[in-house]
Amino acid sequence: MTLRALLLAAPGAGKGTQGTRLAEHYHVPHLATGDLLRKHVADGTSIGQTAQGFMDRGDLVPDALVLELVGTAIAGPPPLEGFVLDGFPRTLEQAESAFRWGQDRARTFHAVVSLRVGTDELVRRLLHRGAEAGRMDDNEVTIRARLDVYERLTEPLLAFYRDRGILVAVDGTGAVDEIFDRILTAIAPHVD
Ligand code: AP5
């Protein structure tokens, strides 16, 4: 039994927190585009140099760059059979590209998990992390920009996956363990 899942939710909703657990539970890699990009920035690669300005402003990094990054991580050969994607796809172009890739290789997603958390709680979580961990984009101005970008460019993907019958919406508030149990219960009917 493997899992190909995507966590699709606003900044601060818990994609990283829950994605790590989900990947461990199903023994598949957790691929977070934000983490991959931050590593490129830290390493000073040309990808990182291109991405940094977009990330600091809370804008999305160009699709072509992200598609190359994810393609390298999952393409193989052989292509990864199972994975938990976190933060990708994030635009309709990325979603359509991922869908075509999956169809060609019999590796479409089993489930897309949407974590529902109110805006005030999202901002509170991110400001808290900004104060504790110092992530550059966790400041009030950039948080608002990220939330705006999410609403305009990423939220429309919910309908894309709802139409394909693989969207599961989960309450993303409360204790981390409780949310994880909700996710496992919600995706169970979708997994091989
Ligand atoms: P990315 O790293 O994906 O950031 P994000 O979407 O803004 O999400 P976060 O990492 O802030 O939040 P999360 O939902 O993972 O929540 P987490 O578990 O960390 O992307 C960063 C940037 O990279 C983008 O702005 C863009 O520029 C670029 N990028 C990335 N992917 C891209 C793509 N596909 N295309 C183009 N550009 C792309 O939790 C947040 C905090 O809340 C943590 O401190 C956590 O401890 C806490 N927390 C978690 N759960 C709970 C809970 N239940 N209760 C209380 N606190 C909680």
Instruction: State in Å: Cα 36 to ligand 1 middle.
Output: 12
- The confidence score (pLDDT) of residue 73 equals 87
pTM summary value? 0.96
Tokens standing for residue 179: 């949310």
**Sheet order of strands, 30-32 included:** 30-32, 83-86, 4-7, 111-116, 167-171
Task: Tell me the pLDDT of the chain (192 aa) as tens digits.
Answer: 799 999 999 999 999 999 999 999 999 999 999 999 999 999 999 999 999 999 999 999 999 999 999 988 888 778 889 999 999 999 999 999 999 999 998 889 999 999 999 999 999 999 999 999 989 999 999 999 999 999 999 999 999 999 999 999 999 999 999 999 999 999 999 996
Q: Atom of ligand 1 at shortest distance to CA of 86?
A: 3
The reply to whether ligand 1 has any atom less than 6 angstroms from the CB of 88 is: yes
- The confidence score (pLDDT) of residue 89 equals 97
Instruction: State in Å: Cα 146 to ligand 1 middle.
Output: 10
Instruction: State in Å: Cα 65 to ligand 1 middle.
Output: 19
The reply to whether ligand 1 has any atom less than 6 angstroms from the CB of 114 is: no
How far apart CA 1 and CA 167 sit, in angstroms, is 19
Tokens standing for residue 32: 């977070």
How far apart CA 155 and CA 188 sit, in angstroms, is 24
Cα dist. 35→44, 47, 48, 53, 169 in Å? 14, 13, 11, 16, 24
Q: Atom of ligand 1 at shortest distance to CA of 35?
A: 2
Q: Which of 36, 55, 88, 125 to mutate to test the pocket of ligand 1 (most atoms within 8 A of CB)?
A: 125
Extended strands (E) in 12-116: 30-32, 83-86, 111-116
- The confidence score (pLDDT) of residue 78 equals 81
- The confidence score (pLDDT) of residue 25 equals 97
The reply to whether ligand 1 has any atom less than 6 angstroms from the CB of 9 is: yes
The reply to whether ligand 1 has any atom less than 6 angstroms from the CB of 19 is: no
